[in-house]
Copies of this chain bind each other. A is one copy, B any other.
Amino acid sequence: MSRTLFELGEALDARLQGDGNIRVERVSSLAHGSSSTLAFMVSRAHLSELHRTQAGAVVLGEEWAAECPVPALVVRNPHAAFARAVAMLHPERKPAPGVHASAVVAPDAQIGAGVSIGPHSVVADGCRIGANAVIGPGCVLMSGATVGAGTHLVAQVFVGSDCRLGERCRIHPGVVIGADGFGLAKENGRWIKVPQVGRVIIGDEVDIGANTTVDRGAIEDTVLGDGVKLDNQIQVAHNVRIGEHSAIAGCVGIAGSAVIGRGCTIGGGVGIAGHLKLADGVHVTGMSLVASDLEQAGAYSSSLPAQPMRQWQKNAARLRHLDEMARKLKQLEAEVARLGASAGQSE
């Protein structure tokens, strides 16, 4: 869908620098642009690519505008402006409204105007689907599930009974919302399942990445606030609560009843233990373990970067005796202090 820079600049509230009649058709990186592409720049790291770019035009901030060799859309927030430009140049192909002949939809399900239900999907009794929602192919909505207006289940999504999704969410393939939490009681050396009767309640504009799982609550609900963004392969256990506009990277595991504040960012592969509280504005670096409450905003870490294996193995071997090392160090301090004192006396 080709656009002139005039059109884009107006939509993005940008200052136009150069020829506004240029047309661009699609986005590209700075490095792989051509005369019909729009590129963007968000970091000084790409300055040399900017100088050499073959893109037709570039979205960038005021600080680099003077260095741009091609027409530019100059904006305050280049990343956000670019996001909007991509959406304009590459509008999503939405499936036509209607229920595919192969879908199995319960007679009492409430289906809003403009809804699309794809092939081989299942919508059980008591479900409610808001206007213009898209239920892609192979989805399963169990009894009483609710999907808000404009929400898009891409394909093969599972939504458990009585779970609720807000409006304008995007849920990727393989996501499982509302499976049972891992609730077990022990009796005589065996585990007894504790039936999980809470729900999952998901706010508006929540995105959930492929194969992420969000378990239903044990008694009360698991809750994801408005604007929460989850990447792929995340595990959210029962009764977790995630505050609004928090973003969580791939492969994170969040144990039962953990409460994560608003505006947090959690790096990939992090583990968060159960029954903890993370304050608003907490940031955790990749592959760290959160094992206690984090009561202050700020960055936390227990990430351990890899070294060449031989060096690392020597260090790791020492780590297994670190307590002993610390004791020796303390002994030695006392010894040296004693020696120092007696040397002082003998002088």
A residues with CB within 8 A of B: 26-29, 32, 77, 79-80, 82-84, 86-87, 90, 92-93, 100, 102, 104, 118-120, 122, 136-138, 140, 142-143, 154-156, 158, 161, 170, 172-174, 176, 179-180, 182-187, 189-195, 197, 207, 209-211, 213, 215, 219-220, 227, 229, 231-233, 235, 237, 245, 247, 249-251, 253, 255, 263, 268-269, 271, 273, 283-292, 294, 298-323, 325-326, 328-329, 332-333, 335-336, 339-340, 342-343, 346-347
Contact = CB atoms under 8 A, between A and B. Distances in A.
Closest 6 CB pairs of A and B: A79-B185, A291-B305, A299-B309, A314-B323, A179-B210, A251-B253
A213 B213 contact: no
16 contacts: A79-B194, A80-B185, A83-B194, A90-B197, A93-B143, A235-B268, A237-B250, A250-B253, A253-B269, A269-B289, A307-B320, A314-B323, A339-B340, A342-B347, A346-B346, A346-B347
Given A120-B138, A285-B309, A227 B190 contact: yes
A293 to B, nearest CB: 11
B191 A170 contact: no
Contact of A235 (B156, B190, B250, B315): B250
Contacts of A142: 155
A307 B173 CA distance: 35
B138 A122 contact: yes
Contacts of A284: 306
A346 B253 CA distance: 63
B290 A268 contact: no
Contacts of A289: 269, 286-287, 303-306
A288 B220 CA distance: 30
Given A333-B332, A336-B335, A298 B291 contact: no
Contacts of A313: 301
Contact of A172 (B179, B183, B335): B179
B174 A158 contact: yes
A253 B227 contact: no
A92 B209 CA distance: 29
Contacts of A253: 233, 250-251, 268-269
A286 B289 CA distance: 8
Contacts of A28: 219-220
Contacts of A251: 235, 251, 253, 271
A192 to B, nearest CB: 5
A308 B283 CA distance: 10
A138 B142 CA distance: 12
Contacts of A158: 155-156, 173-174, 210
A14 B269 CA distance: 44
A86 B138 CA distance: 32
